[in-house]
Chains A and B, each alone.
Chain A
Amino acid sequence: MTTEQYAIPGLKNVLYIDLTSRSYYIKDRRDLYEKYLGGVGVATNLMLEEYIEGTGPLDPEMPIILSTGPLSGVYPTCTKTVALFRSPHNGELGESYAGGRLAMSMRYSGYETIVIKGASQYPVYVAIHDDKVIFRDASSIWHLSSAIDVGKVLRDVEPGAGRRSIIRIGPAGEKGITYASVNVDTYRHFGRLGLGTVFGAKKLKALLIVGNQEIKSPDHNAYRKTYSKLYDTIVKTGLTEKYHNLGTSENILVLNELKGLPTRNLQGTSFEGAETISGELFAEKYLIRRVSCAGCPIGCVHVAMLRRPFSKAHEYETLNISYDYELIYALGSNLGVADPEAVLELIDACEKAGVDIISMGGVLAWATEMQQRGKISTVETMGLQFSWGDKAAYLRAIDLVVQGPNDFYAALGKGVGYASKKYGGEEFAVQLGGLEIPGYHTGLGNMLGLTVGFRHSHLDNAGYAADQAAFNRPLSDEKIVEAIIEEEDRRSVLNCMVACLFARNVYTYPNIIEALKSLGIEKTEEELKELGRDIFRKKYELKKKFGFKFEELTMPKRFFETTSTTGKLEEDRVKRAIELYRKKRGV
């Protein structure tokens, strides 16, 4: 049976949206897809094309690029969309990945990549219904107190119920908090580095996409076969079991045991309350359902139910909150919060505000230590007395950071790097490359990985995994550097697809080659590896243009005071490893 003549070949279009003039056009960019496949490869090259020297992160001319890849909407777990922008948080390359339904909607709408430029004079949202792109006034949903509610409103006004993707910002993005996130379909996010802030500056409240086209593969039988093979590998081999069962929060007890779980602003690496905020406990007591990104059989999104009383007369409200390892670290161990319900409430407050939870956790942890050391007082905090584990103070603080009623909270809204320059405490402002760190203090690999990584993320190169290897058997620093380089290039290729990194061991080079072949794309392993290296060079070119300099990197003392999984780190050793990395990479 066939409806072939109605199908699109795929990987052809880039949709350009100009918010200033509220107009759009579509360009045939097969040239880009042929060379760089899609995802981060295409987005990096588009950013190099679009970036006008000297443009600031929040200037209208600065583009947002969203891109999917050849396997998006086609093969299981290829569910991510990459966003490229210039980060208002650290001024550097902004790169973030989100799942949900976005990739599938973009792919089936025939716009595999979207470039958003300009800025509207008043709040707008953009609705894409296959070939129609509509701009609508969003003033009535600007100022909504919750990013979640934005979805509720748009679901009612826009047609296409059932499988739309709705990405939107909350108050933090409107207010210019530099680490505002973009909420994707309620439970997923473009979390890090402030894409939400860029949306806010463009007065773009939301983007809704409905795609309902068919894609044509040149060899449908090969496609069917490869799909079944990949599906079986994901579901039946145990490669992704961890993400399905307890989810990433399984790592709380693991990292606690390994002394790699940042605790109380990285004053420690194990937390006496780890048991009560463990993935095991959340699963047993609060987990009510798992959901998946569209096109992924793993079901890694863990949703907890919190029943919260709001009066003494047995009145309750029920909150559904998705949780993950990083969130539990950021608002749990790193704030000394051992009460799981408090962790859930803090997550919920950040979700509504639309902020990156890792950065918010880092900011609150730093502020707590500042106050405990007497470097700030209740004057700056507007009466709040921060103490580890005090949920009520932290809940209030999240609101205050988002609203920014005084200089101190306004500074907290720009991250620990900025705030510590103003108020002191740089030695324990736990950031690398201007970004509050994810939940690992495992040793050299992690610290090096976060420092040299494109976006200072553990997902750039999994430095913690190199430490894990070094923990189990002796590994020279050079080998750690090499592991990081290899992983970076491999991940760049995965990010062209754009595959979920939880399935990274399913999408091996041979499997990627087979999957591409069934779509009529011929690539060799060597060509893919070269693509990875090419992306590295181009991203560093971009980073340089955005002002990144190795010489300006600072490494707060805290990293060298607190023992990591693989022992205490010395600054010199990290510096030598960075030099080695630069030499090997030629940057």
Chain B
Amino acid sequence: MLYKKKTHTSLKEELEWEIMAKRLKVANPARCIGCYSCMMACARTWYDTISLKNSRINIQTRGGIETPYAAIVCHACIDPPCMRACPLGALTKRKGGGVNLNKEICDGCGNCIEACIVGAIHLDAEKKAVICKHCGVCTKFCPHDVLEMIEVEDSGEIKVTDTSPVEDTSPVSSTASHKELYGRKEPEEEK
């Protein structure tokens, strides 16, 4: 991986992270367990109701639960086609890729939906476009390392930030990372 994951080592780094251009990335789609925690989080953060349908990220299966889950969400285009397609100028370029939506202007024509071949846009009950803001809330509710916020150039280009030597990252035990996430710490062991 050529970019750094969010870390909290110092206040300075934390502040720097806050002002950096970032975007949401579906980093490890194959790890998705289909819990919909991300969708619930997105929808309840940005809407005053409880639903899945107002989520800007969409977790889907194409052939039932036997098949892998797909996370459909804005790819943070550097030159967004949805923006070009909007006849009213409701979409403007976002720092870090993707778009900002001006809800006041949007009239629900759906041109952006057509332009986004990713399928990342739909309309809410008030006929306003639902598009990812790259706010990162969903990443905090993903229990299985699927979603990440990554640092990018203001333009949205991927920033190569991680040039440190490649270290041995094999886990101490096959379930070590999960044990930590789910609360039970592994005993310290020499590698």
Q: State the Cβ distance, A526 to closest chain B Cβ, in Å.
A: 28
Q: Complex Cα distance A224/B141, Å? A: 12
Q: Complex Cα distance A215/B50, Å? A: 5
**Which of B49, B60, B125 has a CB less than 8 Å from the CB of A162?**
B60
Q: State the Cβ distance, B172 to closest chain A Cβ, in Å.
A: 15
Whether A245 touches B49, Cβ cut-off 8 Å, given contacts A186-B66, A214-B54, A235-B143, is: no
- CB-nearest residue of chain A to B63: A155
Which residues of chain A are within 8 angstroms of B103 by Cβ–Cβ distance? Answer: 1
- CB-nearest residue of chain B to A7: B49
Q: Does A56 contact B (CB under 8 A)?
A: no
Q: State the Cβ distance, B57 to closest chain A Cβ, in Å.
A: 13
Q: State the Cβ distance, A133 to closest chain B Cβ, in Å.
A: 20
Q: Does B3 contact A (CB under 8 A)?
A: no
Whether A6 touches B125, Cβ cut-off 8 Å, given contacts A224-B44, A244-B182, is: yes
Q: Complex Cα distance A283/B181, Å? A: 18
B37 and A162 form a contact (CB under 8 A): no
A3 and B36 form a contact (CB under 8 A): no
- CB-nearest residue of chain A to B174: A284
**Which of A4, A212, A213 has a CB less than 8 Å from the CB of B48?**
A4
B143 and A297 form a contact (CB under 8 A): yes
B52 and A163 form a contact (CB under 8 A): yes
Q: Does B45 contact A (CB under 8 A)?
A: yes
Q: State the Cβ distance, B21 to closest chain A Cβ, in Å.
A: 24
Q: Does B179 contact A (CB under 8 A)?
A: yes
Chain B 43-81: CB-based contact to A (< 8 A → 1; otherwise 0): 011111111111000111111111000000000000000
A152 and B125 form a contact (CB under 8 A): no
B47 and A245 form a contact (CB under 8 A): no
- CB-nearest residue of chain A to B68: A289
For the residues of B in contact with A, the DSSP-based class is loop
Q: Complex Cα distance A293/B44, Å? A: 19
Which residues of chain B are within 8 angstroms of A162 by Cβ–Cβ distance? Answer: 58, 60-62
Which residues of chain A are within 8 angstroms of B164 by Cβ–Cβ distance? Answer: none
- CB-nearest residue of chain B to A236: B183
Q: Complex Cα distance A472/B101, Å? A: 62
Q: State the Cβ distance, A301 to closest chain B Cβ, in Å.
A: 8
A235 and B48 form a contact (CB under 8 A): no
B35 and A292 form a contact (CB under 8 A): yes
Q: Complex Cα distance A227/B140, Å? A: 13
B182 and A185 form a contact (CB under 8 A): no
B36 and A295 form a contact (CB under 8 A): yes
Q: Complex Cα distance A327/B51, Å? A: 34
Q: Does A223 contact B (CB under 8 A)?
A: yes
Q: Complex Cα distance A166/B66, Å? A: 13
**Which of A216, A235, A236 has a CB less than 8 Å from the CB of B50?**
A216
Chain B 156-181: CB-based contact to A (< 8 A → 1; otherwise 0): 00000000000000000011001101
Q: Does B184 contact A (CB under 8 A)?
A: yes
Which residues of chain B are within 8 angstroms of A244 by Cβ–Cβ distance? Answer: 178, 182
Chain A 278-303: CB-based contact to B (< 8 A → 1; otherwise 0): 00000110000111111111110000
**Which of B37, B45, B64, B144 has a CB less than 8 Å from the CB of A151?**
B64
B52 and A108 form a contact (CB under 8 A): yes
Q: Does A161 contact B (CB under 8 A)?
A: yes
B125 and A291 form a contact (CB under 8 A): no
Q: Does B18 contact A (CB under 8 A)?
A: no
Q: Does A187 contact B (CB under 8 A)?
A: yes
B37 and A320 form a contact (CB under 8 A): no
Q: State the Cβ distance, B145 to closest chain A Cβ, in Å.
A: 12
**Which of B52, B53, B65 has a CB less than 8 Å from the CB of A291?**
B65
Whether A296 touches B35, Cβ cut-off 8 Å, given contacts A3-B126, A185-B64, A238-B183, is: yes
Q: State the Cβ distance, A110 to closest chain B Cβ, in Å.
A: 12
Which residues of chain A are within 8 angstroms of B143 by Cβ–Cβ distance? Answer: 235, 297-299
A2 and B64 form a contact (CB under 8 A): no
Whether A299 touches B35, Cβ cut-off 8 Å, given contacts A3-B124, A3-B126, A236-B183, is: yes
Q: Does B40 contact A (CB under 8 A)?
A: yes
- CB-nearest residue of chain B to A284: B174
Q: Does A308 contact B (CB under 8 A)?
A: no
Which residues of chain A are within 8 angstroms of B52 by Cβ–Cβ distance? Answer: 104, 108, 163, 212
Q: Does B33 contact A (CB under 8 A)?
A: yes
Which residues of chain B are within 8 angstroms of A237 by Cβ–Cβ distance? Answer: 183
A216 and B49 form a contact (CB under 8 A): yes
Q: Complex Cα distance A4/B62, Å? A: 30
A224 and B45 form a contact (CB under 8 A): yes
Q: Does A240 contact B (CB under 8 A)?
A: yes
Q: Complex Cα distance A293/B65, Å? A: 10
Q: Does B34 contact A (CB under 8 A)?
A: yes
B35 and A297 form a contact (CB under 8 A): yes
Whether A299 touches B49, Cβ cut-off 8 Å, given contacts A3-B124, A151-B64, A235-B182, is: no
Which residues of chain B are within 8 angstroms of A7 by Cβ–Cβ distance? Answer: 49, 51
- CB-nearest residue of chain B to A295: B36
Whether A238 touches B50, Cβ cut-off 8 Å, given contacts A245-B175, A294-B36, A295-B40, is: no
Q: State the Cβ distance, A320 to closest chain B Cβ, in Å.
A: 6
Q: State the Cβ distance, B47 to closest chain A Cβ, in Å.
A: 5
Chain A 1-30: CB-based contact to B (< 8 A → 1; otherwise 0): 111111100000000000000000000000
Q: Complex Cα distance A3/B179, Å? A: 39
B125 and A185 form a contact (CB under 8 A): no
Q: Does A399 contact B (CB under 8 A)?
A: no
- CB-nearest residue of chain B to A299: B33
Q: Does A74 contact B (CB under 8 A)?
A: yes
Q: Complex Cα distance A316/B111, Å? A: 47
Q: Does A73 contact B (CB under 8 A)?
A: yes
Q: State the Cβ distance, A428 to closest chain B Cβ, in Å.
A: 38
Report which B residues bind A (CB closer than 8 A). Answer: 30, 33-37, 40, 44-54, 58-66, 103, 124-126, 141, 143-144, 174-175, 178-179, 181-184
**A to B CB contacts below 8 Å, 18 in the list:** A1-B103, A6-B126, A7-B51, A104-B52, A163-B59, A163-B60, A166-B64, A185-B65, A212-B52, A215-B51, A217-B50, A223-B44, A235-B143, A235-B181, A236-B183, A240-B182, A283-B175, A296-B35
Q: Given A3-B47, A4-B49, A245-B182, list of 13 further CB < 8 A pairs?
A: A3-B49, A3-B124, A104-B52, A155-B63, A161-B60, A162-B58, A185-B64, A236-B183, A237-B183, A245-B178, A289-B30, A291-B34, A292-B34
- Sort A-B residue pairs by CB-CB distance and give the 10 closest, nearest first: A238-B183, A6-B125, A162-B60, A299-B33, A214-B49, A214-B51, A292-B35, A3-B125, A241-B182, A297-B143
